[in-house]
Amino acid sequence: MGFLRSGQAPQLVLGLAGSRTWSAPFKLQDIGQNYVRIPLQEGGKEQLARVDAVLEGPCIFIRVDPEHGSWPFLLRNDSHYPIEYWQAEPEGQQVNTRREPRRRYRLQPNSKQPYAWDFPADDLRQLRIAVGGRERLVNPLEIGALVPFRFSYEGHTAVLSIDVRAEGSTQAISFSHYVEEDSVFKLQRRNTETASSIASSRDGGFEAVDVDVVTTFSFGLSLEGIGISLVNRRMQELIYASFRGVTARYSDSTTNVSCDVGVKWIQIDNQLFGGLYPILFYPSVIPKDSKELEVHPSLQASAIVLKDEGAPSSTSPAPLRLPAHSLPLAPSLQHTASRTLSTRRSSCRR
């Protein structure tokens, strides 16, 4: 490992033991999961490493593991045109001769290539593609259908459709031939615009067409409250759980199927006589009024499944939202967790 410093951001580079080549630097302050390509000694090959940075108190714990699974990005070319791509340069860095030149990749027709960032420390993480002498920026984190890419190739005009999908932990960028009947982007047909003005526009003469969404079935359930009591064989009540403002909704439309579940208030009471903690589970911050409880429920989860026939699988991740002030542990469990965290902090200081 080697430490670098660029301005005020400390950086780190990785290299294999006995090797004189280093990886591209990455920032220590990038909390989360990152991927670094480590050069190997033989044949110019690279080993993908997964870097997990976790912030615990005043310390940043960094764990480096070899990644033997899928790469973070996958570029798939389903067209008949070769595509060049590389990591885009940040603004103002194109003419900087001290910076290492960008490595260009060539994606042949009807092929696919895994990819990870060549410069993970760059603030701009976008791909630049080039076909037929024309370039275009592509954001691989922008999931969905992007504006088609129009270019000239061997004397004729061609158009590529660009789609970004999540395939497990991999972001897949697909390039295919543009079919206007199957795309949400249509060619602009306006008499006031000439062909040259359309070709020079930012979107290449395409406009998004709104799709009419028709709801075919809808179901909703709303309960003022639910109470669950747990008793033992002696018919002695142990705990009582109360859920207030329980809502469940199911909707089926021509484009998607959505489910939503919400609970405004969750509380679990200890019913044993003489217990030290009468309330075991509850939102620690009491809302000031009922309007705040409507906006910030204790539990809210939703899932949306898209009816996209063009993809083998198109399920959006189900977001689960727990407000920061909600659902604390019992004090005994909190003491155990804080003692474990304090042990890790003290080892970090040493």
- Under the banding of pLDDT at 50, 70 and 90, the label for residue 2 is low
Asked if 215 and 250 count as a contact pair (C-beta separation under 8 A), the reply is no
Helix (H, G, I), strand (E, B) or coil at 346: helix
Q: Please tell me the distance from the alpha carbon of residue 244 to that of residue 223, in angstroms, as a whole number.
A: 8
Residue 60 lies in a domain: yes
Are 230 and 294 within one domain? yes
Mean pLDDT is highest, among 18-22, 247-251, 327-331, 336-340, for 247-251
Are 112 and 200 within one domain? yes
Helices (H) and strands (E) in the chain, counts: 3, 23
Residue 278 lies in a domain: yes
Are 51 and 110 within one domain? no
Are 78 and 98 within one domain? yes
Helix (H, G, I), strand (E, B) or coil at 12: strand
Per-residue pLDDT at 47 exceeds 80: yes
- Contacts made by residues 206-214, CB under 8 angstroms, sequence distance 24+: 206/147, 206/148, 206/150, 208/184, 209/184, 209/185, 211/184, 211/255, 212/254, 213/253, 213/254, 213/255, 214/253, 214/254
Query: Which residue's entry shows tokens 């080697």?
Result: 2
Residue 273 lies in a domain: yes
Q: Please tell me the distance from the alpha carbon of residue 314 to that of residue 318, in angstroms, as a whole number.
A: 12
Using the 3D structure, point to which of 182, 208, 234 is the last residue of a domain: 208
Residue 40 lies in a domain: yes
Strands (E), 139-214: 144-153, 156-167, 170-177, 185-187, 206-208
Residue 349 lies in a domain: no
Asked if 71 and 152 count as a contact pair (C-beta separation under 8 A), the reply is no
Q: What pLDDT digit, counting tens, does each position of 235-265 carry? A: 989 999 999 999 999 999 988 899 999 998 8
Are 185 and 244 within one domain? no
Q: Please tell me the distance from the alpha carbon of residue 83 to that of residue 77, in angstroms, as a whole number.
A: 8
Residue 346 lies in a domain: no
Helix/strand/coil percentages in the chain, nearest 5: 10, 45, 45
Are 188 and 299 within one domain? no
Are 54 and 80 within one domain? no
Using the 3D structure, point to which of 12, 38, 66 is the last residue of a domain: 66
Using the 3D structure, point to which of 14, 38, 66 is the last residue of a domain: 66
- Contacts made by residues 167-171, CB under 8 angstroms, sequence distance 24+: 167/74, 167/313, 168/70, 169/69, 169/70, 169/72, 170/70, 170/71, 170/72, 170/73, 170/74, 171/72, 171/73, 171/74, 171/140, 171/141, 171/143
Structure tokens at 216: 């075919």
Q: What pLDDT digit, counting tens, does each position of 85-112 carry? A: 999 887 655 444 455 678 899 999 999 9
Are 204 and 226 within one domain? no
Are 53 and 110 within one domain? no
Helix (H, G, I), strand (E, B) or coil at 131: strand
Q: Are strands 83-87 and 105-107 parallel, antiparallel or unpaired?
A: antiparallel
Residue 157 lies in a domain: yes
Given this model, what pLDDT does residue 8 score? 61
**What is the dihedral sign for C-alpha 183, 184, 185, 187?**
positive
φ, ψ (nearest 5 deg) of residue 47? -110, 125
Are 125 and 191 within one domain? yes
Cα–Cα separations (whole angstroms), residue 241 to 108, 267, 269, 327: 60, 6, 6, 13
Total count of domains within the chain: 3
Are 28 and 114 within one domain? no
Are 33 and 86 within one domain? no
pTM attached to this predicted model: 0.58
- Residue 130 belongs to domain spanning: 73-208
Residue 167 lies in a domain: yes
- Under the banding of pLDDT at 50, 70 and 90, the label for residue 350 is very low
| Closest among 73, 93, 100 to 85, alpha carbons compared | 73
Length of the chain: 350
